Chains A and B, each alone.
Chain A
Amino acid sequence: MKYIIPIFLLLFSVSHSQNLNVEFNFTINKSNDLASTTKKYILEQNESKSIFYFDLIKDKTQFKNSEIAEVVFDRDSVVAYIIGDDVIEFFFKEKHFKDFKNNFQFYNFAIGYKSKPSYIKEEINIFNWEISSTEKDTIIGGFNCKKATTQFRGRNYVAYFTNELANEGGPWKFDGLPGFILKVDSSDGYLSIYATKINTKIEKKIKLENPYLNKKTIAFVQIKDMILESDKKYVKKMRSLPNAPDKISINGPESIENFGLGERVYE
């Protein structure tokens, strides 16, 4: 008997600490389809924290129409691409940190590729989920998943989560379910996130720290003020041109969440 137990420990682990490394495909279908992307993110999670990050800013195959995408601007942390004749999209390095115990998440955010990045702090539990009653569980990657739906900042989402990987966690802001979220889709087809690789076989314990610990952060509701500031700069620039237009109307920026701004008209 004594000899059998060590063998068990090799193959399995009685581990209460979840150590997860999951790779996700994050697809955004923009209204101008040329700008649509499928970005590859990685999520690392331990029993109290997680980081969801995007590094592959130089990989243009992540554009839906990658054959006609070309680099137009290349810095260390930002790369801008032109797709076709006139569509510009940019990739910047993203890090999204979650502290489950204290219910806070931190992430970096940028409006345009030339603007300075901002750091946002907000709570993790910002979703009002309704777990759907289904006869059978959906199986994703061999894990039994339940389905949940929610309405979040202007869109309806369907998510699949499993308690066989962790007690919480998920890609991007999605969280707050009794399990780890492996797949999220918005019902209008704008957003689609799904796991492509799940790894729990991690030898060393993952150590995660808040990368924005000493940075000045703003709240989510302040993003719209930032947008209005950048509006003003844009309007100033337009007004300084010869043949300045009388009325400037600005829409957007097109994003996953509704920032609380509609169309702005400046006269």
Chain B
Amino acid sequence: MYKYIFLLITTISFSQTININITNEEGLLVDNCNILFKEKSNNNVNEFTKVYNGKSLYILKNVYDELEIEIQSYGYISETILISKPLKKNKYSYDIKLYSKITELKEVVLVSKQNPFKIKNDTVVFNVSKYSDGSEKKVEDLLKKLPGIEVDANGSIKYKGKQLETVTLDGDNIFNSNYKLGTKNINIDMVDEIEAIDNYTNNLLLKGIESEGKVALNLKLKKGKSDFSGNFENALGLKNDLNSAYYSNSYLMQISSKVKSFGLLNLNNIGRSDTYFYEKQQNKSLDRISDDDFRTKKLISDELFNPSIDPIRYNINNQIYISYNNLFKINKRLTFKSNLNFITDKINSNQNINTVNFIENNLVNTNDNYSSLKKPNVFSGEFELKYNLSKKTLFEGFSKQYFEKTSVYSTYLKNNEIGFQNFNKTKGYFSINKFVHTWKVSSNKALQANIYYTFDEIPQTFESINSFENINQKSKFKKSTLLLNYNLIGKSKNFSYAFQIGSGFQRNPYFSDNSSDFNNTTFKNNYYFSNSRLKYYYKKIIIVPNISLTNYTLYLENTNLLSKTYSSNFVFEPSLDIIFKEKKSTYTVSYSNTQKPISEEFIFTNNVYINNRTIVKNLPSFDYQKTNSLAFNYFFNDLYTNTTVNFTSQFQKSNGQYLSDFSIDENFSIIKNSFFYEKNSSFNTNFRISKFIDKLSLNLTYSSTYIKNKYPNVLNNSDIRKNTNEVFKNTFIIRTGFNSKINFENSTSLKIITSKSIITNINNSLNNSYKIRYKINKKYKASIKWDVFIPNIKNKSNNYNFVDFELNYKLNDKINFILAGNNLLNLKYFKQIENNDFSSFISTTNLTQQFFLFNMEYTF
């Protein structure tokens, strides 16, 4: 008995007891009350209690500095008691009288002003109908309006400043990195919601463990009555020279529980190019390896130059593009995916480059004129088989095969004097074969083994003939790689880790032959590596140290010189990231130190013609390019006010690099690359702010980029020249979303390029793109687009005005008729000026003609 008394006394003696009697004006006990206990300084309700029948005896659980007790009851005015520094052992008693409050009886209907988005842990779900204004046709058009998502001129998409891994359909990855196929073609009417996913992983076993911070989008499609949906567009018209113009773009999509497929057929000769499926890939798998790590070099380039305007203006093409993508869920454990793409094209172009080279105190003038027909043919087949042996084990097999055959026939005129007939042929065969075994050891730990066998072979031919001269250059790069790596990843409450060990065997032979020079060199790289990355989470801060250790054994076998050289090095590359995350903002500071061994483009020592004027050779060595890089990034995203701010600043400095030694005269440019320990650095800063002003229905985006590159080179036996190249670009975009009949968007861009060496070259260019949309009535819509380019502000008379129009007639929900016209002012040539540290070029290219099209579109 004494034990219990002791307990009772202790509980009372260490806490404060509050005893309150509550009555109303009539003296009756108030039936039902709530008592809130607050800390007055921050007005925070720490605890509360309910009171029935007017009497409460409550023991406080917390300690207070200034205790504010609020007694509340519906229909009464609240009363407050303030106790300053309540003493621990005290019992406080109060008699409270509550006075009636006059309450208004009302009936309220809440207008569900639902948020246009929902946040579910790492995913933001955007409701498509809440962000569209009716003018969007394809998924890409709507993505431009979503906060945090950035779509560039080529259609490449970033979320939170990071490149997308992929865009999935109802959770399934069918496109891989070729997501533009979906975003540029799928009609936005098919999509219900768009999810923006942070911490995306392609491997379901690793969900929750892999913390690479990858991002992806998921399109949640509307459920229709049929599994099939699609869009057929067929347009026929005339070009200015009375040749026919045609555009046909059709896709068929099948979405069912077992099969998801997407097929596309595109035929056009109006300049639309769909080369994105063999563009440089951004996504990396868990072991930080992407397909580009296995590619070798295409030395003889078939491009002359690309003007800085939309390709549709100068791409005189004749293209057929077919794509078929299929994901088949054979059973619960087995899925098979295939992606097949084929493109064949015929591109005509007339290009002229007039160059003024400033060498010492002399001017060397050159002129190159090409009239060419380029015929690219590319086929790619990607296959993926996933087998879930159990809930903990996954086997994956990947095989990608790319075939390319591109021929270029051209008539070339050198310095307006000598004519040549040229023929370039490039063949390519790139094969990646990968096998992966993932074992989920526990709910927060996994092991993964990867084996790669890849090879890339690019044989090229460059032939140039006239009655006096004959160049017949063969050049072939080949790269075969065998790579194995073993990874352990895990995640616990405060930290996550990723450890990797592996080895790679790379063989890179290069062969070239022309009548006077011969190259037969093989570069071999055998490497062993280990990579450790730790992510430590402390409150709002994440600290990520990373250490990479690699042992390289490099060989260069030069059959010409009958020499074999070899070098073995141990390389240590540390990096550190510190991330500070707040609710809407993320601050990141990164430091990294990397060392790169020689790249295969510098392994050959004898002359190779890469075009009629340029000859390249190298002096290879085993020096490593050591680079220190420091970057700062700030990202702010407010979904409620639709505001995004992104600021990045990076400074990078290298101790040396392969420096180009130019020997230029009227007829030839000989470039010799060799490693010099001369510092080079690059500094770039990018600022972008995007905001949607609800009241004015305006979307404003301002972006500013500044890049400064400092690099050395040698020109005609000079000393080492230190050059600087600066680019400063400002773009301002305004887009309206009025409910009225008229809407417009305008984008203005100013670019200043400065090249400094002994002399300084500055070029300012301005371009403005204006589009106005007019909704005539429910069935008719029209738009006019006007693009102005002034390639050099100092020469305003060299300006270009492109005018396009489009008239749309909606017959019904399924059928649309469109009348369109491009380049109404019929501009034929585009001329622009560029400069570098020792020359100034005026490049002229011919443009796609003016054309008119009548288009019929059927959607289902």
Partner-B contacts on A (CB < 8 A): 8, 11-18, 25, 33-34, 47-48, 65, 67-68, 84-85, 100-101, 131, 133, 140-142, 146, 163-168, 177-179, 187-189, 194-202
Residues of chain A lying within 8 A (CB to CB) of residue B257 = 85
Residues of chain B lying within 8 A (CB to CB) of residue A100 = 32
A196:B112 contact, CB within 8 angstroms: yes
A131:B108 contact, CB within 8 angstroms: no
- Residue pairs across A and B with Cβ atoms less than 8 A apart, 27 shown, are A8-B102, A12-B105, A14-B75, A15-B103, A15-B105, A16-B31, A16-B76, A17-B75, A34-B223, A47-B32, A65-B223, A67-B223, A133-B44, A141-B110, A142-B108, A146-B45, A178-B50, A178-B72, A179-B34, A188-B121, A189-B118, A197-B108, A197-B109, A199-B106, A200-B106, A201-B107, A202-B105
* Closest B residue, CB atoms, query A197: B109
CB distance from A123 to the nearest CB of B (A): 13
CB distance from A183 to the nearest CB of B (A): 10
B107:A187 contact, CB within 8 angstroms: no
Residues of chain B lying within 8 A (CB to CB) of residue A34 = 223
Residues of chain A lying within 8 A (CB to CB) of residue B102 = 8, 12-14
Residues of chain B lying within 8 A (CB to CB) of residue A85 = 257
B121:A200 contact, CB within 8 angstroms: no
Main DSSP-derived SS at the A contact region: loop
**Distance of A99 Cα from B257 Cα, bound (Å):** 47
* Closest B residue, CB atoms, query A83: B223
Residues of chain B lying within 8 A (CB to CB) of residue A11 = 104
Residues of chain B lying within 8 A (CB to CB) of residue A164 = 74, 103
CB distance from A139 to the nearest CB of B (A): 11
B107:A196 contact, CB within 8 angstroms: no
Q: Is B33 at the interface (CB under 8 A from chain A)?
A: yes
Q: Is B228 at the interface (CB under 8 A from chain A)?
A: no
A198:B74 contact, CB within 8 angstroms: no
A16:B110 contact, CB within 8 angstroms: no
**Distance of A101 Cα from B101 Cα, bound (Å):** 23
CB distance from B529 to the nearest CB of A (A): 39
Residues of chain B lying within 8 A (CB to CB) of residue A68 = 223, 225
A201:B106 contact, CB within 8 angstroms: yes
B45:A131 contact, CB within 8 angstroms: yes
B45:A166 contact, CB within 8 angstroms: no
Residues of chain A lying within 8 A (CB to CB) of residue B110 = 140-141, 194-198
B223:A15 contact, CB within 8 angstroms: no
**Distance of A101 Cα from B36 Cα, bound (Å):** 19
Q: Is B120 at the interface (CB under 8 A from chain A)?
A: yes
Known: A141-B110, A196-B110, A198-B110. A13 touches B45 (CB 8 A): no
- Chain B contacts with A in 517-539, Cβ cutoff 8 A: none
B43:A167 contact, CB within 8 angstroms: no
- Chain B contacts with A in 49-97, Cβ cutoff 8 A: 50, 52, 72-76
**Distance of A179 Cα from B45 Cα, bound (Å):** 13
Q: Is B622 at the interface (CB under 8 A from chain A)?
A: no
**Distance of A221 Cα from B408 Cα, bound (Å):** 78
B34:A13 contact, CB within 8 angstroms: no
Q: A16-B75, A133-B43 are in contact. List 13 more A-B contacts (CB 8 A).
A: A11-B104, A16-B100, A47-B31, A84-B223, A85-B257, A131-B48, A133-B42, A164-B103, A167-B32, A167-B73, A198-B106, A199-B107, A200-B105
**Distance of A13 Cα from B42 Cα, bound (Å):** 34
A198:B107 contact, CB within 8 angstroms: yes
**Distance of A189 Cα from B72 Cα, bound (Å):** 33
B74:A16 contact, CB within 8 angstroms: yes
**Distance of A33 Cα from B45 Cα, bound (Å):** 38
Of B72, B100, B103, B108, the residue contacting A167 (CB under 8 A) is B72
B72:A13 contact, CB within 8 angstroms: no
A13:B105 contact, CB within 8 angstroms: yes
A166:B42 contact, CB within 8 angstroms: no
**Distance of A25 Cα from B109 Cα, bound (Å):** 13
CB distance from B92 to the nearest CB of A (A): 20
**Distance of A73 Cα from B52 Cα, bound (Å):** 47
Residues of chain B lying within 8 A (CB to CB) of residue A141 = 108, 110
A163:B74 contact, CB within 8 angstroms: yes
Known: A47-B32, A201-B105. A168 touches B72 (CB 8 A): no
Of A48, A178, A188, A196, the residue contacting B48 (CB under 8 A) is A178
**Distance of A148 Cα from B30 Cα, bound (Å):** 26
B74:A166 contact, CB within 8 angstroms: yes
CB distance from B594 to the nearest CB of A (A): 40
Known: A16-B100, A67-B223, A178-B36. A163 touches B72 (CB 8 A): yes
* Closest A residue, CB atoms, query B51: A167
Known: A65-B223, A197-B109. A188 touches B120 (CB 8 A): yes
Residues of chain A lying within 8 A (CB to CB) of residue B34 = 163, 167-168, 178-179
Residues of chain A lying within 8 A (CB to CB) of residue B100 = 14, 16
A18:B74 contact, CB within 8 angstroms: yes
Of B24, B103, B118, the residue contacting A13 (CB under 8 A) is B103
B223:A18 contact, CB within 8 angstroms: no
Residues of chain B lying within 8 A (CB to CB) of residue A33 = 220
Residues of chain B lying within 8 A (CB to CB) of residue A198 = 106-108, 110
CB distance from A151 to the nearest CB of B (A): 15
**Distance of A65 Cα from B50 Cα, bound (Å):** 42
B108:A199 contact, CB within 8 angstroms: yes
Residues of chain B lying within 8 A (CB to CB) of residue A200 = 103, 105-107
* Closest A residue, CB atoms, query B105: A201
**Distance of A78 Cα from B607 Cα, bound (Å):** 85
Residues of chain B lying within 8 A (CB to CB) of residue A140 = 110
**Distance of A174 Cα from B52 Cα, bound (Å):** 20
Of A25, A167, A189, the residue contacting B74 (CB under 8 A) is A167
* Closest B residue, CB atoms, query A13: B105
B112:A194 contact, CB within 8 angstroms: yes
A101:B52 contact, CB within 8 angstroms: yes
The 8 closest A-B pairs by CB, nearest first: A178-B34, A189-B120, A16-B75, A133-B44, A201-B105, A131-B45, A199-B107, A141-B108
**Distance of A194 Cα from B115 Cα, bound (Å):** 13
* Closest A residue, CB atoms, query B75: A16
Residues of chain A lying within 8 A (CB to CB) of residue B36 = 178
* Closest B residue, CB atoms, query A196: B110
Residues of chain A lying within 8 A (CB to CB) of residue B74 = 16, 18, 163-167
